[in-house]
Every structure is written in C-alpha cells, then in structure tokens.
Structure 1
Amino acid sequence: MINFELPKSLKNLQNMTHQLAEQGFRPISRKYDRIEHGDTPAELKPLAQMIAAGRPRGGGKSEKADADPEAVKNGSNLMGIVSVEEMCWGDTGLMLSLPASGLGNAAIQAVGTAEQKEQYGKLYCAMAITEPGAGSDSAAISTTARRDGDEWVLNGEKIYCTGGQRCDAVVVWATLDKSLGKAAIKSFIVPRDNPGMQLARVEDKMGLRISDTAALSFTECRIPLDHVLGSAEIADTEAARKKAFGGVMQTFDNTRPMVAAMALGVARAALETTTEILEKEGVKADFSKTPYNSSAIELELYRLEADLDAARLMTYKAAWMADNGQANSKEASMCKAKAGRMGNDVTLKCVALCGELGYSERYLLEKLARDSKIIDIFEGTQQIQQLIVARHLLGLSSRELK
C-alpha cells in the first residue's frame, strides 16, 4: 500500500528543523551572505548540538521495523531529506556550514569502519573529488595514492571542494594506478592540518557565499594506512573492478537525494515568499478556479506548486528506497535532475513575478535565486544525471553511452 504521508516521528523532526531554520538561520541569512570567506558562524555551533540531540537513536528506524525485518523502514535517508529541506528553507549556505554536515561525513558513515566513524564522525569532513582535468567524469581522476610502508602518500590537486577551508578533514578520491581507470580509484581520509595538504585558494561565488569552496593541493601528503575508506585492494577481474567502483559511487545514491532536498527547501521558500507578496496585491492562488477562469499569474503559481510537489515525491521515493535496501541509483539521479532544474525555474520565476521586490534585497528572493543555481550543478550536473538515467533505461554501460 502506497502512503504519501510522513509518519509522526518524521513530522516531529520536520517541525523541529523548521523552527531551527526560521529562528536560527533566517535572522542571520543576509548577514552571512555579505561576509564571504568568513569563519564558521558562531551561531551555528549550538544549533548543530541541538540537531544532534534531536536525532532519534538507531538511525531513525521505528520499533516496528526493528521487530519485523519485512516492515517498511523510514530511516536515516528519509530523515535527512526532511531535515535538509526545512533547513534550506532557512538558508542553504548556513546548512552546509553546520559542523559534522559535510559530504565527507556521508561517505564515512556509508563505508567507514567503526574506528573511522568514531574518530571522524562528529567532525566536519569535506569531500574532494573534482580536478582541473576531471570534472563530471569521476573515473578520470589523476590524483595519485601510493603505499609507502605503513602510510599512503597522496599527490595531486582538487578544486571546488565544499567546506575545504573550514573542515576538520577531507575525504580525497585518488587512484592507485591510473592505467586501470576507475577500478583503481579509492577514497582516503586526510586530516585538515596535514602538512602535505595545502589550501591553494577559496573561490568567490554567486551564491552560497558563506559556504566556502576551496582548491586544495597535495604534495607528498602522508596519512596512516588505515585512513583508506573500504578495501585498499584492486580487484583482479573486470567484473570485480566494475563492482568495486560501483561501491565507491554508491555514496552518491545517498547524497544526491539530499542535494535534491536542498532545491526543495530553496524553491519552497521562494514560492511562499512570492505568494505572500502577491496576496498583498490581491492575487491569491486558491486552486478553486479552473484554468480558464484563472489569471496568468495564478496559473503560473499553480504550475510552480505542481513542479515542486513532483520533485518532492521523487526525492522521497529515492530516499525511501535507500532506507529499505533497494537499489536507487536511477531514482537518485532522477530526483536530483528534476529538483535541481525545478529549483532554478521556481526561484527565477518568483523573482520575475515580484518585479522590483524580487530583484531588490528587501526580500530574500534574489538570494534564493542565486543560491539555487549551484544545486543544479554540484553533486553531478543536470546533463550527467540525465546521462545516468539514460544508461539505466537503455541498459547501457558508461563505456557504451557517453
């Protein structure tokens, strides 16, 4: 039986994170948009503690699910979707700046050992994948890792690393043997204070200005042998190598719905603000009129609302599948592509509908539009997501369909 309603536990989480966004993020949103490259906002530390304290134990699974393995589970993935949407309704950049909320944290939680989770789970861990010569093609990574006794030695350069300046550690993707392509790519945990890792620069950006985006360089960067995520062995058959890289990429099956949820929060914030502004001018979309009896503005609001709901349902499905042990790679890319495009469309249309009020800084609409653009780009661009979906639908490999 399909049920589109959130369970009570997730509604409580939704209410809690909405209050946090409304009372904690919104009041300082404009302030930190103007302070680019500043330190982590002091206001975020107690908020992060509140979030950690409010998370249910056991990954958010219900007692019924624990008692019955066949029961439907609403676990950490759906919890993350709900909370991320609400926090991004407040401010996406501030959400990304919260301690212990980095993309690297998701990777460590997904494939890290108990010791790695204990050591780095509560710290802020960034993820370094993109390189000057390897953007959307993760398999083209050229940063190298070689074993030297009881240590790994990393050399290379990474760009567009979210949180790379302020983080406590970075999960770095590197290759053990470039001639083997994606089969030899592994991820490594590198502490931020490691002398072999240097901050090259911090980017100036259109949106998410408080969330730093850094370029990092690695020169004979030495880390302990146990700082590799997953197996350090390179598979000896083509099938095993394909499976190994698929395991590395599974991180994105969990994180892409989270990025989609960012778009949901930003778009909903813009749509709610626009609705409030228009209602003051006597334009109210109450969904009681037929399209033929509605104004052009009312019809536009109906369309934007429907697009937002469609993206939300796709995102919920991808997260629910992950919680219930179902392969969701296609659905994760579908919801990310849909939500990313929707977020851009909704925020820009809201700016246009509100005219000078949308373009000015009197409201947050112009900031929401600026913030929304990157959501359609990072964690795999719109084009890459469509390519992944096409491969799934056509049953073709990355080598067969490029």
Structure 2
Amino acid sequence: MINLELPQKLTQVQHMAQQLAAGVFRPITRKYDAIEHCETPDELKPVAQMMASMGRGPKGKAEPSDEIRNGANMMGIMGVEAMSWGDVGLMLSIPGTGLGNAAVMAVGTAEQKEKYGKLYCAMAITEPGAGSDSAAISTTARLEGDEWVLNGEKIYCTGGQRCDAVVVWATLDKSLGKAAIKSFIVPRDNAGMSLVRVEDKMGLRVSDTAALSLNDCRIPKDHILGSPDIADSEEARKKAFGGVMQTFDNTRPQVAAMALGVARAALEITREIYEKEGVKADFSKLHYNSTARELELYRLEADLEAARLMTLKAAWMADNGQPNSKDASMCKAKAGRMGNEVTLKCVALCGELGYSERTLLEKLARDSKIIDIFEGTQQIQQLIIARHLLGLSSKELK
C-alpha cells in the first residue's frame, strides 16, 4: 500500500530547512542577487557547519531490501525544496553541498568518501563542444607513472570558483566513446587547473558558474572515481558508463526539488497579493463557479503537486535500492518545466507587482529558467525517458 504521508523525521528536516530559508536566505536574497560576483557569503558559513554536523545530501542508491527506507535522498528533497523557497542560488552556494559531493558519495571508494566527501566539490562535465551529450567529452586523461595528466576545457561549472575540489569528467580514449569516460578528483588549488572566467548570469547570480582550463594537470593515480579499466565488451562498457551516470539518478530529483521550492514561493506570493484584493482560491468550488484567475491558480497548484509526487517517488526509489533512472529524468523534466511556467505565469498574473522588484516574483522567474536546463535539458530528459519506455539504446534513439 502506498502511504503518501511524510514520516516525522522528514517533516522535521523540512521544518528546519524552512526556518533557515525564512530566517537566513530571504532577508539577504536581494543583497547577493545585486552583488553577484563575491566570495562565499558570510551568512552561509555557519549554515555549512550545521549541515556538516547533520550529514550531507544524497548518498547514492541503497541496496534492495524488504525494509522500507526514507533515507538521505528523501531528506535531501525535503531540505532542498524548503531552502529553494528561500533562495535557490544561496542554497547552491552553501560550502560542502556541490554536485561533485554527490558523485564522490555515489561511486567513490570508502577512502575517497572519507577524504573528499567532507570538502566542497564541484562537478565539471560540460565543454564548449560537448553540452548535453556527455559521451562527446574531449578532455583527456592519460596515465604517466603514478599520476593522471588531464588536458581540456570545462565550462558552466557550478561552484567552480569557490570549491575545494572539482570532479572532472575526461576520456581515456576518445575513439572508444562513452566507455572510456571516467571522473577524476582534482583539488581546486592544483597548479594545472586555472580559472578562466566567472559567468554573468540572468538568474542564480550569487551562485558562481565558472569556466576552467586544465593544462597538463597532474593528480595522484588514486584520484580516479571508480575503476581505471576500460571494459572489453559492449555490454560491460555500457554498464561502466552507467556507473558514471548514476550520479544523475541521485541528483536529478534534487534539481527537481529546487523547482518545487521556487514554484511554491511564487504561488504563495501570488496568493497573498490576490487575497489582499479579495480573490481567494476556494478548492471546494466547482470550476464553472470559479473566476478565470481562480482557475489559473488551481491549474498551477495541480501542476506543482504532480511534480512534487513524481520527485518524491524518484528519491524514495533511490533510498530503497530500486532502479530510478527513468523516474529521475521524469521528475526533473516535469518539475523543471513546471517551475518555469508557474513563476512566469505568477509574474503575469500580478502585473506590475510581478514585473517590478517590489516582490520576489521577477527574481523567482529568472532563477527558475536554469533549473530546466542544468543536469540535463528538457529535451535530453525526454530522450532518456523515451529510451526507457521504448526499450531502445542511445545508439538506436538519438
């Protein structure tokens, strides 16, 4: 039987994160949106210490079990959604909560998890010639003695300026395609990795987005995540790349949760504005007894709830050792599109109040767009879902 009620330990996490969002993030959201390029906000440093004492984000998939678990992935969803209600850019700027941390926890060894799991790790995948197609990566890694030597260029690296280390995706042999792609832990202060620029952006302005250059960047042999071996069969290669991609199965629901928080914030502000004007959505009324504005609010609320349930399902599957690649992409696709549509519609519904900086609606709309893009665009998610539903490989359906 499906139980849609959240257990007490999850609602406690949700409540604490909501307090953090309301008490810390909301008061400084405009300040850091205006500053954009800055060091890690001082207000976030005690937050990072608190989160370190509680444990961090998604820990990867659990082993299948008859026992029902609500673990780190579900807790991550609760926390990310509530903090994104406050400010998704500030949430992404908390030291120690980078995408690279999820990669280390998903596929790293026990030693790597202990050494790097507590640092602030960014992830560098995207390249000028390899955006949504991760298999087209051209950054190279070659083994020289006891060191890996990396060369290439990475762009749109979230947290790439402020992080302690970067998980870099590179290929051991480009002629072998995705089978030869591995991920490597590179300390941020490594002399072979340099900061090219920090991007100016429409939204998430407080979160740094960096371009990085790797020039004969040398790292110890044990800094590779997973096995350095290239599989000798097509089936084994597919499995190996699937291990690398497992990171996304854990993090895409987290990104979907960002959209849930942003959309909920926009809807709450819109309802508050409407209620001051005497318009209150009454969900007990039939549609034909409701005004056009009330009906629009009903539709937006329903869209948000559908995305929320899909996101919770994908995270729950990860906590219970169930394959969730399709569901992770489904919730990310649904929530990413929903967050953008809801925030933009709220701007339109509130007119000049929505478009001005008198409320947070215009900022929420700006922040929402990237959520539909990073961690795999809307189109890529739909392609992944189609492959699962049709039982086709990436070669058969491009």
Distance in structure 1 (CA, Å) of the matches to 2:54 and 2:23: 16
**Is 1:51 the equivalent of 2:47?**
no
- CA shift for structure 1 position 119: 1.4
Q: Which residue of 1 aligns with 2:218?
A: 222
What's the CA shift for 1:47? 1.2
> Aligned pair in 2 of structure 1 residues 363, 296: CA closer, same or farther (>3 Å)?
same
- Superposed CA deviations along residues 60-90 of structure 1, whole A, max 9, x for unmatched, are 99xxx99x94110001111101100000000
Q: Which amino acid aligns with 2:276?
A: K
1:25 paired residue number: 25
| Equivalent pairs, count | 398
Are 1:211 and 2:236 counterparts?
no
* Distance in 2 between residues matched to 1:266 and 1:208, nearest whole Å: 12
Residues 130-158 of structure 1 show CA distances to partners (whole Å, capped at 9, x for unaligned) of: 00000000000000000000000000000
Instruction: Report whether the alignment pairs 1:164 with 2:160.
Output: yes
Contact in 2 for aligned 1:60/1:75 (Cα 8 Å): no
Aligned counterpart, 2:298: 302
Unaligned runs of 5+ in 2: none
Identify the residue that residue 249 of structure 2 maps to in structure 1. Answer: 253
TM-score, scaled relative to structure 2:
0.98
How do 1:160-309 residues align onto structure 2 when only pairs under 5 Å count? 160-309=156-305
Cα shift readout 1:200-254 (whole Å, capped 9, x = no counterpart): 1111000000001111010000000000000011111111111100111111000
Counterpart for residue 314 of structure 2: 318
C-alpha contact 1:172 1:188 (8 A) present in aligned 2: yes
3-state SS, counterpart of residue 91 of structure 1: helix
1:118 aligns with 2:114: yes
Matches within 5 A, 1:332-351: 332-351=328-347
What is aligned with 1:12? 12
Aligned-pair distance for 1:54?
A: 3.9
Gap change, CA 1:17 and 1:57, over 3 Å in 2: closer
Work out the CA distance in 2 between the residues paired with 1:5 and 1:345: 27
Verify: 1:132 aligned to 2:138, yes or no.
no
Task: Return the letter of the residue paired with 2:9.
Answer: S
Percent of matched pairs sharing the same residue: 81
Q: CA deviation at 1:264?
A: 0.2
Aligned with 1:104 (options 87, 97, 100): 100
Length-normalised TM-score, structure 1: 0.97
SS in 1 for 2:42: coil
Equivalents in 1 of 2:339, 2:58: separation in Å? 32
- CA gap of 1:120–1:344, structure 2 versus 1, over 3 A, is same
1:57/1:275 CA distance change after superposition, 3 Å? closer
| Counterpart position of 1:34 | 34
C-alpha change, 1:55 and 1:215, in structure 2 (3 Å) is closer
Aligned to 2:77: 81
Larger RCO (CA under 8 A, 6+ residues apart): 2
Q: Secondary structure at the match of 2:183?
A: strand
- For residues 245-279 of structure 1, what are the alpha-carbon distances to aligned partners after superposition, in whole Å with 9 as ceiling and x for unaligned? 01111110000000000000000000001100110
CA deviations on 1:13-64 (whole Å, 9 max, x unpaired) are: 1101100110011000010001111100000010122233345999799xxx
**Alpha-carbon distance change, 336 to 200 in structure 1, aligned in 2, over 3 angstroms:** same
Q: Distance in 2 between matches of 1:147 and 1:56?
A: 32
| Offset at residue 328 of structure 1 (A) | 0.4
Shift in alpha-carbon separation, 1:57–1:359, aligned structure 2, 3 A: closer
CA positional deviation for 1:123: 1.2
1:60/1:79 contact within 8 Å kept: no
- Please report how far the alpha carbon of residue 399 of structure 1 lies from its aligned counterpart in structure 2 after TM superposition: 0.4
Cα distance in structure 1, aligned partners of 2:190 and 2:331: 37
Q: 1:152 aligns with which of 123, 148, 152?
A: 148
**Structure 2 vs 1, CA of residues 5 and 260 (structure 1 numbering), >3 Å: closer, same or farther?**
same
Instruction: Tell me the amino acid that sits aligned with residue 16 of structure 2.
Output: M
- 1:363 is aligned to 359
Paired residues of 2:57 and 2:76 also in contact (CA < 8 A): no
CA contact (8 A) 1:24 1:47 kept: no
> Take 1:192 and 1:57, find their aligned partners in 2: how far apart are those partners?
21
Instruction: Please state whether the residue corresponding to 2:66 is helix, strand or coil.
Output: coil
For residues 306-339 of structure 1, the C-alpha deviation after alignment (integer angstroms, 9 at most, x for no partner) is 0000000000000000100000000000000000
How far residue 120 of structure 1 moved from its aligned partner, in angstroms, is 1.3
Q: Separation in 1 of the partners of 2:242 and 2:157?
A: 22
CA distance in 1 between counterparts of 2:363 and 2:48 reads 23
Gaps in structure 1 of 5+ consecutive residues: none
Out of 365, 380, 384, the position equivalent to 1:384 is 380
Distance in 2 separating the partners of 1:91 and 1:147 = 42
Q: Does the Cα contact within 8 Å between 1:104 and 1:126 map onto a contact in 2?
A: yes
